Structure 1
């Protein structure tokens, strides 16, 4: 059975580096790119009967589709195929839940490179994924142009 790798895609340079890493370093693995639409919490969420009713949800879906289309093109440029999926919720939770429910062997995420107080105050999706995931997690740092 082929290995399965989930790559979190959010349009940041770090997630682009994560996708490039997965495409290059795990050629034997089937890769799925996952985009998570972060839902607003609090006021707006209490009035919406569904995710689609939330302000900006359609634009967020369109942005997600565009990001995943770019990921598919990047994979095709390297002679690879890529599955894609969009989910909604809290990114770290959705990434881990999707990987677990769909039998992925590993998750590849980009690091946002926050340090010190910023990391503590802002939190980190990649850090939360590492803590929660029952499978291997690879955190990729964006490499500066040399």
Structure 2
């Protein structure tokens, strides 16, 4: 049985580190990249300061996600790994855990932002939410 890994990707160095971790440590796994477009009324409604779908915001977000996937595929190719990818809309932490549940994902790999507070690492809110709500293992990778 093939191990199924979900790697949540965005445009952060932590995300790049998560991709590198997944393809270097789990080359024999079925790895899926997931990018979540946070489509909220606040971000997209012109009356609330957002740009809206009618101004091409959504298309630009999808294009940026495809560019992230292309960069991740280059990293994966260096390790002889092929990746699948998907884009969903919503709140990142909720969509990551729901996608994992819906697609029988064994492990979620994602970057984390380390924030030092009196010598302790504090996870960013998305990573923390996924760690607390996922049904399976979550590997949180800091940027190098």
Please give the TM-score of this superposition, normalised by the length of structure 1: 0.83
**Counterpart position of 2:110:** 109
Runs of 4+ in structure 1 deviating by more than 4 angstroms, as ranges, are 43-47, 51-55
Instruction: Please list, as runs of the form range in 1=range in 2, the aligned pairs for 1:15-94 lying within 5 A after superposition.
Output: 15-42=15-42, 44=44, 52-53=53-54, 56-94=57-95
Partner Cα separation in structure 1 for residue 133 and residue 57 of structure 2: 29
Shift of 1:115: 3.7
What 5-or-longer segments of structure 1 have no aligned partner?
A: none
Aligned partners of 2:8 and 2:110 also within 8 Å? yes
How many residues were matched structurally?
138
Higher strand proportion, which one?
2
C-alpha change, 1:2 and 1:63, in structure 2 (3 Å) is same
Please give the TM-score of this superposition, normalised by the length of structure 2: 0.84
Post-superposition Cα deviations, 1:102-133, rounded to whole Å, max 9, x if no partner, equal: 000000010111244xx98x951111000010
What 5-or-longer segments of structure 2 have no aligned partner?
A: none
Task: Let me know the Cα RMSD of the aligned residues.
Answer: 2.6
C-alpha change, 1:65 and 1:26, in structure 2 (3 Å) is same
